[in-house]
Amino acid sequence: MHAASPHLSQNPSPDPDTAAAALDRVLMARSAPLTSGLSPISLSLAWQDWAQHLASQPGQALRLAALAQAGAVEWAGHCASGLCSDDETVQRDPRFASEDWRAWPWSGLAHAYKRSERWWDEAMRLDGLTRHHAEVVRTFAHQWLDLLSPSNLPFNPEVLRRTRETAGANLVQGAQHAFDDWRRDHGLAPLQPPEREFRPGIEVATTPGAVVMRNRLVELIQYAPTTATVQAEPVLIVPSWIMKYYILDLSPHNSMVRWLTEQGHTVFILSWKNPDAGDAQLGMDDYLRLGVFDSLARIAELVPGEPVHACGYCLGGTLLSIGAAALARPGQVAGAERMAPLASVSLLAAETDFSEPGELGVLIDEAQVQLLEAVMAERGFLSGRQMAGSFQFLHSRDLVWSTRMQEYLLGQRSQPSDLMAWNADVTRMPARMHGEYLRRCYLHNDLAEDRYPVEGRPVSLSDIRQPMFVVGTEKDHVSPWRSVYKVLRLTETALTFVLTSGGHNAGIVSEPGHPRRHYALLACGAEDPWMSPDDWQQAAPRHEGSWWTAWHDWLLAHGSGRQVPARTIAPEAALMPAPGAHVMVRYPD
């Protein structure tokens, strides 16, 4: 083999493939704002797939034409008879809940609008149309319908009545709200500040505790005991890194961690760093090692000899399941001997099988991930504003149009709440981690297919032998409960599944005493036969109240039952008081 020329080795010529790829990424990232961060390739492929299937199925085209004609005739008849307000779909839509929409001509407009929505849903029923493309077309069609809704008209009946009642004051107040929002979006203080702020460490995230470990990615918080004795096994909570951890420590009355300490548990929780450009190369392995594994090692030092009840929420639950599987396999992971063993695993609204993901799956395919990777490569992270924009796009009817009508046309601001304040406290995501997560979970479903690598070796959830407690929520659009339920098919251990009322956030933050809460619970043994989600729902007994109490009872049943003196936080272990420093950091996007 001939030695390489010193000149060539010191000054290698640029790789044309790398240069071309870099140019493509730059152009893609610069064009992203023109399409609001959405891939035009994904959208065009979906519309092309739908249009070509429609063109190749003249019978379906005739069916849709007949539906449109029948709908028009029905609408005309309803308008002539004055019965448009009797349409149940109109009455169930909160945009048309006001009695003002029952009068002519508004009732006819609302009825025609709902007929259009139903027609587009029928238009997706084409043989051969891929599920993903059907969801993309349906989503974008409904986006346009939401934009064109009669409820968004500046002269709709609610606005006209309100304007008459206030002599136009609502429009003046709405203009003020719009100006305040513009100032806030441009980094200026609003002229009318919110009536109440929810600031971490002051109004929210106030449960007493201390940071007992810090690395470049997380702070580990230990909470002070509130009972004379505590359960021997501590609880470790791994929250999602999208948004900040304190959704589980909101106001004192609905703080999960405060409630757990009051029940006699020693509680630890992770507070993820809000990453910046210097963290661009942090990957999923770093989140697993620095987040889950380092925390288990620190807990083993603080609470020696005791196993841990580990709990993960949303993406934190996905990460925890990966870590639990890695620790359960032969050979485990490097440094496992220093970590506290797991007594149980609890997953809250967390997906482990992404074959049927929630709403975000509509926006995730190969072209969209490539666009996101190009955008993130420019800055090293995905900004919180960009992530929030995706949710706003998917929920534009509620988060944009209905809100804007309420605030700008009716002049009524939504009352601030701790959950709304937390939802606005967005975080960033490192470019490498987010790309790996989207590809390995959403695109390739590696975890469910036993391909997800930890330290170079794939893990399998079937290796987990600890008992599991898994919670899904009835109205979850981020992690649909039937998708969460798939973990029963992937594991071979005793598992208790809970289906609770509410959505992805409000269903989990469901403290005892909260009105109109219920849940269904059914335990499945490791040897029990498989039950479909619908069969499980039929068999599971329903209970009124909060699922928190059932979880507490389950933790007691799957622990040693031993009580030990309350574990106070040693002064030398406390780096700073809770809620720590990471939760305070905000970066302008």
Catalytic residues, which ones?
A: 314
Token pair of 53 as six digits: 């299937």
CB 326 within 8 A of CB 333: yes
Question: Which residue has 């598992």 as its token pair?
Answer: 495
Token pair of 125 as six digits: 């029923």
Amino acid at 72: A
Radius of gyration of the chain (CA): 27
C-alpha–C-alpha distance, residues 63 and 193, integer Å: 54
CA dihedral 18, 20, 26, 31 (to 10 degrees): -150
Question: Which residue has 């939401």 as its token pair?
Answer: 146
CB 217 within 8 A of CB 291: yes
User: From its phi and psi, is residue 128 left (phi > 0), alpha (psi between -120 and 50) or beta?
Assistant: left
C-alpha–C-alpha distance, residues 425 and 417, integer Å: 13
Pairing of strands 563-565, 229-231: antiparallel
**How many alpha carbons fall within 13 Å on the CB side of residue 147?**
9
C-alpha–C-alpha distance, residues 194 and 418, integer Å: 12
Give the CA angle between residues 376, 377, 380 to the nearest 5°.
70
